[in-house]
């Protein structure tokens, strides 16, 4: 069996130096892969801004920012891993020169907690399709709530707001849900996590 299924409650809470380095490195990788696309973000944003749909650039790509969290949770199966993964990921983005600065840290925390809630709802027992599905739902709702306040989404008219919510759910559902599921399947098939 791989180490995921043999982990028990105490090991689910304690992080070793290696776990921390692993989660941080995965975060750095996600950041680096994402930054390969930041150019396309600006193009997309510019195109959409011209027709008054600027925030969609944000919502379409939000899922990409949120891969690190659920990935860390699925791979390490530890309590709080998605929050730590997302927070480290956003820290990397901030340091590598993301354009949002300190706000990145706060949204990283919001995203991590949002994702983590989904796994928490399963009692940190279901790191599978169900856990991921719940985490994409809670991730969408929590981040959207924060956008209502922070990015002023509450001031849009209702139709526009619902469209934004839908786009965000599709983005998070695909990147932080389906894609993470595919990645995890590759990892499980390869057996690279059986290292203890």
Partner 1 sequence: MNPSLKLGLVLIISFELAFMQSVIANLIVAGLGLIYLILKRVSPKKILWMLVVSIIPVFGTWFSFYTHGAGDAMHSAWLLSTRIYAYIFLGGILSYTGTVDELLGSLEQNCHLPSKFVYGTLGAFNFAPRVVLTVKQMKTAAMMRGEALHVWSPEIFFKSILISLRWSDNLSQAMVSHGFNETTTRTHYDTFAIPWWNWPVAGICLVGLQFLAFSGLF
Confirm or reject binding of residue 55 to partner 1 (CB under 8 A).
Answer: yes
Whole-angstrom Cα distance, residue 8 to residue 154?
42
State which of residues 39, 186, 191, 196 lies at the interface with partner 1 (CB under 8 A).
Answer: 186
State which of residues 3, 101, 125, 129 lies at the interface with partner 1 (CB under 8 A).
Answer: 101
Phi, psi dihedral angles at 193 (to 5 degrees): -85, -5
Confirm or reject binding of residue 158 to partner 1 (CB under 8 A).
Answer: yes
- Least distance in Å: CB of 32 to partner 1? 5
Residue that the structure tokens 């990015």 belong to = 151
Nearest to partner 1 of 75, 137 (CB atom): 75
Confirm or reject binding of residue 194 to partner 1 (CB under 8 A).
Answer: no
Nearest to partner 1 of 103, 141 (CB atom): 103
Cβ contact 170:137 at 8 Å = no
Confirm or reject binding of residue 155 to partner 1 (CB under 8 A).
Answer: yes
63 three-state secondary structure: helix
For residues 106-125, which are near partner 1 according to CB under 8 A?
Answer: 106
Whole-angstrom Cα distance, residue 111 to residue 174?
15
Confirm or reject binding of residue 182 to partner 1 (CB under 8 A).
Answer: yes
| Among 136, 146, 91, CA closest to 115 | 136
């Amino acid at each position: 069996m791989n180490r995921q299924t043999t982990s028990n409650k105490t090991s689910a809470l304690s992080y070793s130096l290696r776990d921390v380095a692993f989660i941080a490195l995965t975060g750095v990788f996600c950041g680096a892969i994402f930054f390969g696309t930041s150019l396309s973000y600006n193009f997309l944003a510019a195109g959409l801004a011209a027709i008054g749909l600027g925030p969609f650039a944000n919502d379409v790509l939000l899922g990409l920012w949120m891969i690190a969290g659920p990935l860390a949770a699925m791979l390490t199966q530890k309590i709080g891993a998605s929050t730590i993964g997302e927070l480290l990921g956003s820290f990397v983005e901030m340091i590598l020169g993301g354009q949002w600065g300190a706000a990145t840290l706060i949204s990283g925390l919001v995203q991590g907690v949002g994702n983590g809630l989904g796994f928490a709802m399963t009692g940190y027992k279901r790191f599978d399709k169900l856990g991921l599905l719940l985490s994409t739902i809670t991730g969408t709702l929590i981040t959207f709530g924060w956008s209502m306040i922070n990015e002023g989404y509450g001031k849009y008219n209702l139709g526009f707001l619902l469209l934004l919510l839908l786009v965000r759910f599709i983005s998070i559902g695909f990147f932080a849900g389906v894609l993470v599921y595919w990645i995890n399947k590759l990892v499980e098939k390869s057996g690279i996590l059986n290292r203890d």
